[in-house]
Amino acid sequence: MYDYGLSWAQFQHDMEEPPIGKVVGTCALCGRDIFDGEKIYRIDGDWYCTDCVTEDEATEEDEPFDEY
């Protein structure tokens, strides 16, 4: 695979340590650590990570199903 001469950049990226931050909570759905400053969704007092919540825009055509 041709890397456009950027193999040095990939090597530097591979050698980086993962960021270490202060864990301030956990996701209520998946249990993943939530770090200080990370974007979260707060629903009914619980914290959810961005992997567990899908952000979207409401439209009239996509009205949610009302089960009640």
- What are the φ and ψ backbone dihedral angles of 40, each rounded to 5 degrees? -135, 170
- Compute the radius of gyration of the chain from its Cα atoms: 19
| pTM exceeds 0.85 | no
Q: Give strand pairing partners of 25.
A: 34
pLDDT above 70: residue 2:
no
pLDDT in tens, 8-58: 888 887 887 776 789 999 999 999 999 998 899 999 999 999 999 988 888
Q: CA dist 67 to 44, 58, 62, Å?
A: 20, 18, 15
Whose tokens are 């996509």? That residue is: 62
Q: What is the pLDDT of residue 19?
A: 66
* DSSP for 12-31, written as a single string: HHHHPPPP---EEEE-TTT-
